[in-house]
Structure 1
């Protein structure tokens, strides 16, 4: 029998070609995994920032809904929250308040405007703490009634995310840290 000899271009893959192909596929898979990690990290950061924005709007809406208290100039000049604890110098917003809801329409309100404000702020602080455990907030309000009352709400929280390059991975400020959101409110 005669042996058939094929030209070099038709003899198949060599071991080096196979190893190069495996290396290229591995690099592609690692790149894809890094892209997925960055996408997941960006989604988590975006989610936290959206929560902060919605929570800030929620407190603004509660303040505007109770203008009797907030726009009258009797509200505390400032208060803060850490987790679900509300702290203010007057003790009005940190006071324990029962339910302001009545089974039927009462002849008089079930709560005063100050009690309703305390309940709103305490529920808001509790919701913020449940959604973002590392958050805290401060609210500073003007108390002069000669001009419209205005408040500045600042929410602070910590976030961490995946670095996109080796240079940013070594920089702790680029991979997370304290962030803040400020909202101007006129109740």
Structure 2
């Protein structure tokens, strides 16, 4: 029996010392807690960056919907669009957001009046006027027309915190969506 007790004591003792192993020391626990804290901070940063990228993708999707909405309005009023009537328009320059009365009339609007209706309704969507929430925060839309090539350019910009790239570089154009098309 005495041999069994000495055998168990030898297994519990640390090699090369006469002390018995009694568990972790305070320093080992502190090192473990530090490593765990650094790992959790890294995980929190990863989650934050993922949420910010997800929000950016959502805003880009909203801007795409807005740009193609206007492109579809222009295709529906093709004769006026081919004349360049939709060009040189910016929602920032729009002082009045009242829709012409022809929009609610049973007879409808003329093709020329429909241009104003389309621009005002689109500006309302971009800026969030008349609703509780804008599709894009701080939204500004612009339409340009190049008469020599017949190409329209629709740009939607919004406010978003810029993301940093590699080595501290800033990602440019991350808060703007542009579509170019010809009728």
Regarding TM over 0.5, the answer is yes
Consecutive unaligned residues in structure 1, runs of 5 or more: 88-92
Match of 1:137 in 2: 141
Higher-Rg structure is 2
Matches of 2:165 and 2:88 in 1, distance apart? 40
Residues 163/53 of structure 1: CA separation in 2 closer, same or farther (3 Å cut): same
For structure 2, the 5+ residue unaligned runs are: 16-20, 128-133
- Aligned pairs, how many? 164
Measured in 2, the distance between the counterparts of 1:77 and 1:12 equals 77
Q: 1:134-176, CA deviations, whole angstroms, 9 ceiling, x for partnerless residues? A: 22222122457xx8x43122223332156578x52xx6x45x8
Query: Partner residue of 2:56?
Result: 45
Match of residue 7 from structure 1? 13
The aligned residue for residue 18 of structure 1 is 29
- Which residue number in structure 2 is paired with residue 159 of structure 1? 160
Deviations 1:83-133 (A, max 9, x none): xx637xxxxx9774136256xxx6xx4211122221121111111112123
With the length of structure 1 as denominator, give the TM-score of the two structures.
Answer: 0.71
Are 2:160 and 2:175, in contact at CA under 8 Å, matched by a contact in 1?
Answer: yes
Structure 1 distance, partners of 2:141, 2:75, is: 18
Specify the alignment match of 2:89 in structure 1.
79
In the alignment, does 2:74 pair up with 1:70? no
Which of 169, 175, 178 is matched with 1:179 structurally?
A: 175
Higher RCO (C-alpha under 8 Å, 6+ residues apart): 1
Which one has a larger percent helix, Structure 1 or Structure 2? 2
1 CA distance for matches of 2:152 and 2:165? 38
| Larger fraction in strand | 1
What's the C-alpha RMSD, in Å, of the aligned pairs?
3.2
Q: Distance in 2 between matches of 1:125 and 1:34?
A: 37
